[in-house]
Amino acid sequence: MKSMAEMDEMIAELEKLEINHTAIKKEASAADTLVDAKRAEILNELELQGMTSFKGTIGTVSITHRHNVKFPSEPGPRTAFRKYLDEKNAFESLWSINHMRLNAWYKEEIASLQDEGEMPDVPGLSPVVDKNLSFRRAAK
């Protein structure tokens, strides 16, 4: 068991680590911005010159195309998509919910039952409670 002084030391060390971590995240974010800007500049130059790729001395850049879709949110298109997946025998493997949305919905369910002191009992879901440590710096 730690003494009060040792606990205070641990918190001071946590603060130093948090400050360092925040600085590194800011630096990484700034680097991401620079990388994205350079990619956009190169893409623009390729398009201006009517090129789809360019082989430089240390690498090759190419314009690629990736198709992305979003899950339909409106009832009509959603039903049509489900029917299409059923016809292709792909429903079970593709029809799922994003984990972040599922967790947000579950939190809403907890909030709606909180006044009654109950937890939602949703078939198929096995809630897990994670422990986290919250740290806030003291006002200076």
> Which range of residues forms the domain containing residue 11?
1-66
pLDDT in tens, 83-106: 888 888 887 877 777 778 888 888
Residues 38 and 2 in one domain: yes
As for how many domains the chain has, the answer is 2
The Cα 5–Cα 3 span in angstroms is 5
The answer to whether residue 129 is domain-embedded is no
Residues 40 and 53 in one domain: yes
Averages of pLDDT over each 10 residues, the chain, 140 residues: 95 96 97 95 94 90 83 85 85 78 84 80 77 72
Residues 108 and 61 in one domain: no
Alpha-carbon distances, residue 81 vs 73, 92, 100, 133 (angstroms): 11, 13, 22, 42
